[in-house]
Homo-oligomer: A and B are copies of this chain.
Amino acid sequence: MPETIPEGSIGLVKSSTFHFDQPLALACGETLEAYELVYETYGELNSARDNAVLVCHALSGTHHLAGYYSLEDRKPGWWENLVGPGKVIDTNRFYVVGVNNLGGCHGSTGPKSINPETNKPYGPAFPIVTVADWVESQSRLAQKLGIDQWAAVIGGSLGGMQVLQWSIDYPDRLRHAIVIAASSKLTAQNIAFNEVARQAIRTDPAFHDGHYYEYDTIPERGLRIARMLGHLTYLSDDIMAEKFGRDLRQESINFDYGIEFQVESYLRYQADSFVGTFDANTYLLMTKALDYFDPAASSGGNLSAVLAQATADFFVLSFTSDWRFSPQRSHEIIRALHDNDLNVSYAEIKSHHGHDAFLLPLPQYLSVLGAYMERIASECKK
């Protein structure tokens, strides 16, 4: 028996795919001769074509921002909390676009796609893509969709990095840049966590140097470790204490290596469900894009200098308990924006949910982001 779509959801949605024939020269020096991008749109592009909003996704995100693919679909898009009719990113007012990034594993060309040169999956031959490469590919998608200028480009975490890059590479193609729980570059600790995840995947015997598709296997053990570790860093110490504390799964301790504590159960469950839906080579690529992102590097580390190119109005948001990309990282971005006398709003949301907070319907978060989106909507033509 089909379920009902929850009230307030955009409802049933579907993905589309564009094929691109124009070669894409990548930062790593390689060129993708052709590629596909899978995307979703919600709402209507107005006749002035000035109400389009691009949402950039994070490490494990996709183009599927909101809604359901069928009545049987158990989970909606990853930003269902924020995207929909009457919601903060209001699909009654905005034409909202989500796209799966190049190198992804949800429909856009990536490591598990067929390499036309070999007729086998790219695997490790898929080039390492960067945030700048993604922005370039997204700019081409915008052209295909007839969007000369975004009302806003929005993203959290790695998505926020894409927003920053958009503001630098195509300053006249976005009016607002909304950078949530992000950073202008990873710290050594961030890189170290990524490296542990990569080593877990790459040393899994089932990884086969990235050619695991040909062996009809996946590096499940490594991907599980990577996901558990990632998840752990998305949560705060406080929220883990509140959610799990030292609660046991059974009544007493068993003195064995089964699940003793609820937090172990939770992590294993997260790992198991991730393994079935995410490609290990894509995970590796995404962590590399994170590591490499450092737009100020070309200006000798001077973020203010590189952001001198930006013209958008900025809204920067951080969450107090986010230790992956702490508020301090947002402050660095804001200082560089102020150095350029740009119009900057900032909200430091009080939350004990850690980095994951950007996905959640926290009242203060929805309220300030909603107010900012309202401002953007009021600037669009009817």
Contact = CB atoms under 8 A, between A and B. Distances in A.
Interface stretch (A1-9, A188-196, A311-319): A188-196
Contacts of A235: 189
Given A128-B255, A261-B291, A291-B261, A200 B188 contact: no
Nearest to A245: B188
Interface string A302-314: 0000000000000
Contacts of A261: 188, 191, 195, 291
Contact of A267 (B195, B221, B225, B232): B195
A44 to B, nearest CB: 40
Contact of A255 (B28, B221, B240, B253): B28
A327 B212 CA distance: 46
A124 to B, nearest CB: 8
Contact of A244 (B188, B196, B267, B271): B188
A225 B237 CA distance: 22
A205 to B, nearest CB: 6
A142 interface: no
A17 interface: no
Q: Is the interface of A mostly helix, strand, loop or mixed?
A: helix
Contacts of A229: 196, 229
A195 B237 contact: no
A228 interface: yes
A127 B128 CA distance: 47
A232 B197 CA distance: 12
B205 A228 contact: no
A253 B292 contact: yes
Copies of this chain, how many? 2
B185 A246 contact: yes
Contacts of A241: 187-189
Given A228-B196, A255-B28, A264-B195, A246 B186 contact: yes
Interface in A201-236: 202-205, 221, 224-225, 228-229, 232, 235
A196 B260 contact: no
Contact of A246 (B196, B244, B294): B294
Contacts of A192: 228, 232, 240, 263-264, 267
Interface string A249-289: 00001011100110110011001000000000000100010
B253 A225 contact: no
A16 interface: no
A178 B198 CA distance: 39
Contacts of A244: 188
Interface of A: 27-29, 127-128, 185-189, 191-193, 195-196, 198-200, 202-205, 221, 224-225, 228-229, 232, 235, 237, 240-241, 243-246, 253, 255-257, 260-261, 263-264, 267-268, 271, 284, 288, 291-292, 294, 323
26 contacts: A27-B255, A28-B255, A127-B255, A128-B255, A128-B256, A185-B246, A187-B246, A188-B246, A189-B232, A189-B235, A189-B240, A189-B241, A191-B261, A191-B264, A192-B240, A195-B261, A195-B264, A195-B268, A199-B225, A199-B228, A205-B221, A253-B292, A255-B292, A257-B284, A257-B288, A261-B291
